[in-house]
Structure 1
Amino acid sequence: MALDNLEHTFINMDENLPIKIVYKANKPFVFPRINNITLPSNFVYKKSEFDTKKYIDSSYTQGFLFIQNDTIQYENYWRGQQEDTKHISWSMAKSYVSALFGIAIEEGYIKSINQTVDEYLPELKGSGYDNVKIKDVLQMSSGVKFNEDYSDPKSDINRYWEGFVFGGSQDEFAATLENERPPGTYNKYVSIDTHVLGMIIVKATGKSLAENLEEKIWKPIGNEYDAYWLADGYGMEQANGGLNASLRDFAKLGRLYLNKGNWEGKQIVPAKWIEQSTSITEEYLMPQSENSESKGIGYGYQWWIPDGTEGEFMAIGVFNQHIYVNPTTNTIIVKNSANKNYYDGNNPYASTRTHLELYRKLAHLNE
């Protein structure tokens, strides 16, 4: 992917790839809003002070939305994005797949996360997913061997993406992966884990991911705009990162989870599922575990869980896409970005941890 053209690409993914439309609600939910607040002038991470406006600009932000106490406090757009623009979610889509999985269990399509993948997907027998519990796949602890380094042209994730762009079958790609360690012992981020979850949802419900999303979440929570999901040449959605939606509609997933799956009195996602999804239940999912590849941040069911005492959780996508939720301060922050410096591990404007400190500053702004 050419890094010099990200700003256009990320808001026009439908120009070159097949899509499935997720239709908007008949009665949209519209967040109340006030005039944009003045953002704090600076924030601090690891004793370094950052100018807030410069940080937002230098991380190539395209959309930034700060909601507190159910009211939009600040909303702004840059670099081609507007309030009705559909921006690619990248891996924030994984958190939507998790929500759909919880709904499918509640509705009886899937019996238990303690079942194994091959009980639903016999085509993955003999692969790295053979005899792996669904729970371990949800928690990115499948034991499957996979190189997720986007900066390495020969990595598995780039090999997968190239196949996807040229119409190859994601299902067939998943079947080629192998196991490298016992499942349920080590937290290692494998994007194809989410694709396998998507395969199970489609097989169990008999409906596509786009149909499930529209029927079970998109329309019930009053999303204002149509979305679209990228699909491969066989019609299967890119479960691990291909959802494209507006900034405010991304925020509604945060609001749904902030309210424990309840939307205006109707339970959309089971409350117990949301509690489990945003909690750390195993040692290897802890932020500082030696058995985790993602040092400094914990993991639930396709949600990231920062180290802290306020119950925060995040949906995170490559190039700095974020849905941040802080239940303690009733805060939701959504950021879309096209950060061409994302692969630079020393760039503070690409760091998730630095972003997190900006979000925390906003979350506690009125204290």
Structure 2
Amino acid sequence: MSDGIRDSAVTVADWQDPANLRWSFQHMDTLFPARSIEPGTPADLKERPQDLSRVPVVLPDGAESTVADVLESTDTDAWLVLHGSTVVAEQYSGTMTPRTRHLLMSVSKSLVSSVTGALVAQGLLDVESTVEECIPELQGTGYGEARIRDILDMRSGIRFSEEYLDPASEVRGLDEAVGWAPPGPGGSPTLKEFLATLEQHREHGGYFEYRSCETDVLGWVCEAAGGKPFAELAGELLWSRLGTADPAFITVDAEGTGMFDGGICATLRDLACFGAMIRDGGVALTGDRVLPADWVADIFAGGPDSTEAFAAGPEAEHMPGGRYRSQFWFLDGRPDVAFCLGIHGQMVYINAGSGVVGVKFSSSALPVDPVKGPAAAAMFDAISRHLTS
């Protein structure tokens, strides 16, 4: 398929096929029903373009590369580097433009957690509350007695397989429930019905285990606490206050419930504004406070046992020294570099120490590529060192 031209054969059944990803990720509101997340007054982003293409990058395996080579080899649709409030690099491939809204996949999770933080700041939500206290419909289910903090940190005791390439995994059942895949026999017709079927198999609050269903419960909690559909809440509490220029949107299921864990789509610059707000302790580039300083500080500091919980979980083998807090990743023990990550190569790099925010949209064939993802992280690290040297 050529960039930007939809093949009539692209359907709900095959939009995630590797050959279709680049088009699909830029046209999610063509494929699926969606709800708009409204912006506010755009921030005044300065521009000072720099040629970063030759900046050397040392890859995780020790091989030497450059920014240009990493971008070329990692299926880049668009990328941007923000240093302070200045855009120093910005590039779009194929039919991508500055106004194109690209699927964020699980970068969406960090946005949902930020709406959660805003509701906590308003006194509408307590992270020590249980799910069933917030959502009576989940009383007596696997999620009922989990705390909101447990699901923020993906430490519930729910049984859920995140094996994207296994058609029998729960994550594929989730896709069916939100309408991202054709319904299978005996599957749930909506997201909320699907979440109510998930079972607890170990104690809540234990080790970290990455599961997209956690964010879907969190989005439901936000709607219950805020009394509005998520798209409205996200617009009022987050998107309109960041200095964003364009509406974002979230795909929804047959009931109109958002695909919270991965269904948000946004422009490159607007997502950089979100990263800058986290970098700057909850203050947007407009000067408006979006999140409390202590909420953002807690993301970077982690909980009292976040490191131990990560080390005890299945991700530790691939990310030694890693940590996960409030739907943000810390990959190698550094407390000042946070990541928002989504499958097929979506990334927001937030370096609070250097002031550098990097955003990358991609359409890599593998959901989780063991080479391309780490290469992109190394590239942003190299750029950060270059800009602050």
TM-score > 0.5, shorter chain as reference: yes
Match of 1:163 in 2: 177
* 1:58 partner letter: S
Matches of residues 276-315 of structure 1 in structure 2 within 5 Å? Answer: 276-283=298-305, 285-286=307-308, 289-295=311-317, 296=319, 297-309=322-334, 311-315=336-340
Question: Compared with structure 1, are the counterparts of its residues 265 and 225 closer, same or farther at alpha carbon in structure 2 (3 Å cutoff)?
Answer: closer
Match of 1:254 in 2: 275
Q: Of the candidates 235, 241, 250, which is equivalent to residue 229 of structure 1?
A: 250
Matches of 2:253 and 2:367 in 1, distance apart?
Answer: 25
Is the Cα–Cα contact under 8 Å of residues 306 and 325 in structure 2 kept in the other structure? no
What SS does the corresponding residue of 1:172 show, helix, strand or coil?
A: helix
Matches of 1:124 and 1:199 in 2, distance apart?
Answer: 10
Where do 5+ consecutive residues of structure 2 fail to align? 1-15, 184-188
Where do 5+ consecutive residues of structure 1 fail to align? none
Deviations 1:138-191 (A, max 9, x none): 000011110001111221111210221258311110001011211111100111
Query: Which deviates more from structure 2 when the two are superposed, residues 41-50 or residues 88-97?
Result: 41-50
Instruction: Return the offset for 1:197.
Output: 0.8
Matches of 2:223 and 2:329 in 1, distance apart?
Answer: 24
Match of 2:13 in 1: none
Instruction: Return the offset for 1:331.
Output: 0.4
Matches of residues 10-49 of structure 1 in structure 2 within 5 Å? Answer: 10-25=25-40, 27-45=41-59, 46-49=61-64
Match of 1:124 in 2: 138
Query: Which deviates more from structure 2 when the two are superposed, residues 58-67 or residues 165-174?
Result: 165-174
Q: Of the candidates 272, 275, 281, which is equivalent to residue 297 of structure 2?
A: 275
Deviations 1:83-107 (A, max 9, x none): 1000011111111111111111111
Deviations 1:230-286 (A, max 9, x none): 111101111111111100001111111111111344321111111112332143545
What SS does the corresponding residue of 1:262 show, helix, strand or coil?
A: coil
Query: Which deviates more from structure 2 when the two are superposed, residues 38-47 or residues 76-85?
Result: 38-47
Instruction: Return the offset for 1:341.
Output: 3.5
Q: Of the candidates 147, 169, 174, which is equivalent to residue 133 of structure 1?
A: 147
Matches of 1:103 and 1:41 in 2, distance apart?
Answer: 38
Matches of 2:69 and 2:128 in 1, distance apart?
Answer: 47
TM-score by length of 2: 0.88
Matches of 1:308 and 1:344 in 2, distance apart?
Answer: 21
Matches of 1:21 and 1:53 in 2, distance apart?
Answer: 34
Matches of 1:175 and 1:30 in 2, distance apart?
Answer: 44
Matches of 1:187 and 1:308 in 2, distance apart?
Answer: 15
Matches of 2:176 and 2:275 in 1, distance apart?
Answer: 31
Is the Cα–Cα contact under 8 Å of residues 43 and 244 in structure 2 kept in the other structure? yes
Q: Of the candidates 11, 18, 27, which is equivalent to residue 3 of structure 1?
A: 18
* 1:324 partner letter: Y
Match of 1:266 in 2: 288
Matches of residues 54-133 of structure 1 in structure 2 within 5 Å? Answer: 54-110=69-125, 112-133=126-147
Question: Compared with structure 1, are the counterparts of its residues 287 and 53 closer, same or farther at alpha carbon in structure 2 (3 Å cutoff)?
Answer: farther
Q: How many residues align?
A: 361
How well do the aligned residues superpose, as a CA RMSD in angstroms?
Answer: 1.8
Matches of 2:65 and 2:310 in 1, distance apart?
Answer: 25
Instruction: Return the offset for 1:116.
Output: 0.7
Matches of 2:78 and 2:343 in 1, distance apart?
Answer: 15
Matched, 1:318 2:340: no
Deviations 1:108-157 (A, max 9, x none): 211x2111110011211232202111111100001111000111122111
Is the Cα–Cα contact under 8 Å of residues 64 and 336 in structure 1 kept in the other structure? yes
Question: Compared with structure 1, are the counterparts of its residues 41 and 221 closer, same or farther at alpha carbon in structure 2 (3 Å cutoff)?
Answer: closer
Matches of 2:235 and 2:223 in 1, distance apart?
Answer: 14
Match of 1:334 in 2: 359
What SS does the corresponding residue of 2:115 show, helix, strand or coil?
A: helix
Matches of 1:364 and 1:210 in 2, distance apart?
Answer: 37
TM-score by length of 1: 0.93
Is the Cα–Cα contact under 8 Å of residues 283 and 289 in structure 1 kept in the other structure? no
Is the Cα–Cα contact under 8 Å of residues 117 and 132 in structure 1 kept in the other structure? yes
Instruction: Return the offset for 1:294.
Output: 4.5
What SS does the corresponding residue of 2:379 show, helix, strand or coil?
A: helix
Is the Cα–Cα contact under 8 Å of residues 93 and 241 in structure 1 kept in the other structure? yes
Q: Of the candidates 239, 242, 245, which is equivalent to residue 266 of structure 2?
A: 245
Matches of 2:39 and 2:159 in 1, distance apart?
Answer: 38
What percentage of residue pairs aligned between the two structures are identical?
27
Is the Cα–Cα contact under 8 Å of residues 279 and 305 in structure 1 kept in the other structure? no
Matches of 2:244 and 2:369 in 1, distance apart?
Answer: 35
Is the Cα–Cα contact under 8 Å of residues 207 and 310 in structure 2 kept in the other structure? no
Is the Cα–Cα contact under 8 Å of residues 40 and 362 in structure 1 kept in the other structure? no
Instruction: Return the offset for 1:344.
Output: 5.0
What SS does the corresponding residue of 1:118 show, helix, strand or coil?
A: helix
* 2:263 partner letter: G
